[in-house]
Amino acid sequence: MASEDEISLLVIVVDVNPIWWGQQAQREPQFTLSKCIDAVMVMANSHVAMSRTNKLAVIASHCQDSHFLYPRRSHGNGDNGDDASSSGDGKYELLSVANNIMAEEIRNLMSKIEVKGNSTDTLLAGSLAKALCYINRVSKEREAGQDIKSRILVIKAADDCSQQYMHFMNVIFAAQKQNILIDACVLESDSGLLQQACDITGGLYLKIPQKVAIAQYLLWVFLPDAEQRSQLMLPPPAHVDYRAACFCHRNLIEIGYVCSVCLSIFCNFSPICTTCETAFKIQLPQMVKGKKKKLKVS
């Protein structure tokens, strides 16, 4: 059992890409963004209800911005007192406050949203970075003697953005260094980046077969924390494709050539590396010169 002093912080990063969700709503009307947010709230409430010392943060991530749904940034006036109004159904006050804040924030967020230009990809790497910063801040603010264990749960809807690769990898390694788990709950298409993230940090990756039952999957698989997971029978880790892509064609290769100077990967040998322009000398086998045949002059 976790000791009284151990704080468990869960940061949920929800992908609210409006383009994807709009298309999803048209495809499957029974599972819309509202339903998804409801399920996330259920998960968040459950986490907070598990222990007095559990903490929560929720980040919404879309094409332009990552926005904290909870906790709300205080405006310095100490207006937290207003939110203490009870919900009237006898719910634990912290939960009702949290739910209200989250609902309000998401309403505001979605009403202000607009898509500019051709940036249709979710800024997931940025959201993860914000989550890491938040976790870092909370860890620094705790009192001496308190352990804090953090994990990030990513609920992913839209596809991967290949331009965010470097940032993603940086985030993953930073999380690994800080012993922060990254779990992933993927709604539609498999994401290689998140698979790697889960593999490297030790979290769970799950692609859900049924979107409408998302709440069940969240509670079953992602609610227990790292220690408890070792006692449970959970879906086994997926096989991660760690093959590198060659620099010339972007094919995934298993055996290739690596330039010893700039470490760029190629699928075929070429005597000059195109990235750093180093020339490679390889000894070719000796050519046997054929005898010159004398042409008969007829």
Partner 1 sequence: MASLSEEVLLVLKKVRQKKQDGTLYLMAERIAWGPEGKDRFTVSHLYADIRCQKISPDGKAKVQLQLVLHSGESTTFHFSNDSTARKDREAAKELLQQLLPKFKKKANKELEEKNRMLQEDPVLFQLYKDLVVSQVISAEEFWANRLGGLNNTDPAVCNSKQEVGISGAFLADIRPQTDGCNGLRYNLTADIIESIFRTYPAVKQKYCENVPHNLTEKEFWTRFFQSQYFHRDRINTGTQDIFTECAKQDEKGLKSMVVQGVKNPLVDLQSLEDKSLDEGYGFSTPLPSTSNCNRSVKESSNYAIIKRFNHHSAMVLAAGSRKGETDQGSETSSTDGNSRDSDLFQPPIKKVKLQEAIEYEDLQREDGPKTVALNLKKSDRYAHGPVPLQSQKYTTSQDIINSVNHVRHEMTNYTPNLTQVLTSAAATTAIAALSPGGVLMQTGVHQTINQMVPSDFQGELKHLYSAAGELLRHFWSCFPVNSPFLEDKLTKMKSNLERFQTTKLCPFQDKIQRQYLNKNLTAHLEQMLQAAYSKFHIWQTRRMMRKT
Interface contacts to partner 1, rule CB under 8 A: 18-23, 25-26, 32-35, 37-39, 41-42, 45, 99, 102-103, 106-107, 110-111, 113-115, 120, 159-160, 162-163, 165-166, 168-169, 192-193, 206, 209-210, 212-213, 215-217, 220-221, 233-236, 242-245, 247, 250-252, 261-262, 264, 274-277
Nearer residue to partner 1 within complex by CB, 7 or 172: 172
How far is it, in rounded angstroms, from Cα 192 to Cα 252?
12
CB of 154 to partner 1, least distance (A): 17
CB atoms within 10 A of CB 202: 17
Nearer residue to partner 1 within complex by CB, 92 or 179: 92
How far is it, in rounded angstroms, from Cα 191 to Cα 157?
10
CB of 187 to partner 1, least distance (A): 14
Helices (H) and strands (E) counted in the chain, each on its own, are 8, 10
Query: Is the backbone peptide bond immediately before 71 cis, with ω within 30 degrees of 0?
Result: yes
Nearer residue to partner 1 within complex by CB, 30 or 298: 30
CB of 189 to partner 1, least distance (A): 10
CB of 248 to partner 1, least distance (A): 9
> Which residues contact residue 242 at a Cβ distance below 8 angstroms, ignoring those fewer than 6 apart?
196
CB of 80 to partner 1, least distance (A): 20
Supply the DSSP symbol for 53. T
Nearer residue to partner 1 within complex by CB, 135 or 206: 206
Kind of pairing between the strands at 205-207 and 181-186:
parallel
CB of 55 to partner 1, least distance (A): 20
CB atoms within 10 A of CB 92: 13
Nearer residue to partner 1 within complex by CB, 34 or 228: 34
Nearer residue to partner 1 within complex by CB, 7 or 128: 128
Burial 155-177 (b: 16+ CB within 10 A, else e): bbbbebbeebeebbeebbebbee
H helix or E strand, kind and range, residue 56? strand 55-61
Nearer residue to partner 1 within complex by CB, 139 or 247: 247
How far is it, in rounded angstroms, from Cα 140 to Cα 135?
9
Give yes or no for a contact between 172 and 202, defined as CB atoms under 8 angstroms apart.
no
Question: 3-class SS at 84?
Answer: helix
CB of 251 to partner 1, least distance (A): 6
Rg (C-alpha) for the chain, rounded Å, is: 26
- How far separated are the first and last CA of the chain, in Å rounded? 103
CB of 40 to partner 1, least distance (A): 10
Nearer residue to partner 1 within complex by CB, 84 or 245: 245
